[in-house]
Amino acid sequence: MENLFVNTAGSIRNIMENSGLSPLLSDAVLVMFKLLAILVFVLINALWLVYMERKIAGYIQCRYGPNRVGPKGLLQTTADIGKLISKEIIIPRGADKILFLLSPALIFAPPLMVFMVVPFGENMAAVELNIGVFYFLAVASLSTVIFWMAGWASNNKYSLLGGMRVVAQMISYELPMVLAILGVVMITGTLNMSEIIRAQENTWFIFTQPVAFLIYFIAGVAECNRAPFDLAEGESEIVAGPFTEYSGMGFAMFFLAEYANMVLVSFMAATLFLGGWLAPFGLTFIPGWIWMLLKVYVLIFLFMWLRWTYPRIRVDQLMGFGWKVLVPLSLANIFVTGVAIKVLDMIGW
């Protein structure tokens, strides 16, 4: 069980090599296979999370949530997707047509690219990258431009306002996120995600870096544009922000990308702070990739819990909180971590 996926990949490789493909080509095909598997994984997760979100919202608000389509309403999202696909895609007359259609197509690319280096279990990263964490930060920052592109191309004042809000918010919260991750990188001295997980063999970093975890989690919620930081699409102020003019599948792509981003941020949090695939209390009979998924889903539940508990905050509160609380706090965390590493080194701990 532990090596189920690793063995599958190995046997696919063997089959290809035996049928006479060159090593380079079979490597390339194998990577394609892995990326396809990740794509399917992300899409199924997004489908399931939409359902989960509605169910949790239901329970928190003392109602049932979707319960008509399929057993326990499980096919609700599938039906929704069918509906969205069959809907007309409306392009406003004043819109910048190419950019308008390009942004929902591109919005899925950055999260998918980052999933390439996520270690789903031991030896289960599609690409073992030396600078994995840094790669995550770099590629994830690209989605800002795509959101803004959507907001601008719609040629609608609410879209533009929403797009600008996304830009301001993502820039402001990327900084504390990077600085929080730096604490972990300082301890491990590596940017490789698998090695960061292996460094947590004895203690998870949530215990040695609790402040960093908190900052990372808050910044992560903000980066995903989720409540209480969902000002970008605050429907009471600016209709739906950058997505105002989108209909049908274009809208659905943004919606699904939000969930893909949420899964991604949770995977990163589990990797950096919760020990990734490592089993707590020596419960190693459960395979590592199941532990990883469990940790990710606990974090996702937290995300949803937050969303249905807290009201949306104001724009000035958002900026003030980011720059005046999170950034100084994460800088202080780096300082304390540095001093602690030196001191512990000196007393030979």
Q: Kindly report whether the peptide bond that precedes residue 280 is cis, defined as omega within 30 degrees of 0.
A: no
Q: Of residues 21-50, which lie at the interface with other proteins (CB under 8 A)?
A: 22, 24
CA atoms within 13 A on the CB side of 5: 17
150 close to 162: Cβ distance less than 8 angstroms? no
Q: Helices 248-273 and 157-188 sit at what angle, rounded to 10 degrees? A: 20
195 close to 271: Cβ distance less than 8 angstroms? no
Out of 47, 137, 240, 329, the only residue in the binding site for other proteins (CB under 8 A) is: 137
Site stretch for other proteins (CB under 8 A), options 6-14, 78-86, 145-153, 262-270: 145-153
What is the identity of the amino acid at 154? S
Residue 135 found at the interface with other proteins (CB under 8 A)? yes
Residue number, 191 or 232, with CB nearest to other proteins:
191
36 close to 42: Cβ distance less than 8 angstroms? no
Residue 148 found at the interface with other proteins (CB under 8 A)? yes
In 61-153, alpha helices (H): 76-86, 97-106, 109-115, 132-140, 143-153
Please report how close the Cβ of residue 189 comes to other proteins at its closest, in angstroms.
8
Site stretch for other proteins (CB under 8 A), options 129-137, 267-275, 289-297, 341-349: 129-137
Out of 107, 116, 149, 196, the only residue in the binding site for other proteins (CB under 8 A) is: 149
Indicate the SS3 state at residue 344: helix
Tell me which residue of 179, 344, 340, 315 sits closest to 241, measured CA to CA: 315
Residue number, 131 or 302, with CB nearest to other proteins:
131
What is the identity of the amino acid at 284? T
Q: Helices 327-346 and 210-223 sit at what angle, rounded to 10 degrees? A: 150
Q: Of residues 288-347, which lie at the interface with other proteins (CB under 8 A)?
A: none
Out of 141, 188, 208, 247, the only residue in the binding site for other proteins (CB under 8 A) is: 141
Q: Of residues 156-185, which lie at the interface with other proteins (CB under 8 A)?
A: 164, 167, 171
Site stretch for other proteins (CB under 8 A), options 43-51, 126-134, 221-229, 256-264: 126-134
Site stretch for other proteins (CB under 8 A), options 54-62, 140-148, 199-207, 338-346: 140-148
Residue number, 152 or 216, with CB nearest to other proteins:
152
Please report how close the Cβ of residue 164 comes to other proteins at its closest, in angstroms.
6
Residue number, 74 or 331, with CB nearest to other proteins:
331
Please report how close the Cβ of residue 193 comes to other proteins at its closest, in angstroms.
14
- How remote is the C-alpha of 116 from its chain's centroid? 12
Q: Give the integer Cα–Cα distance in Å for 340 and 272.
A: 19
199 close to 192: Cβ distance less than 8 angstroms? no
Q: Give the integer Cα–Cα distance in Å for 317 and 108.
A: 29
Residues forming contacts to other proteins in the complex (CB under 8 A) are: 22, 24, 96, 99, 129-131, 134-135, 137-139, 141-142, 144-145, 148-149, 152, 164, 167, 171, 191
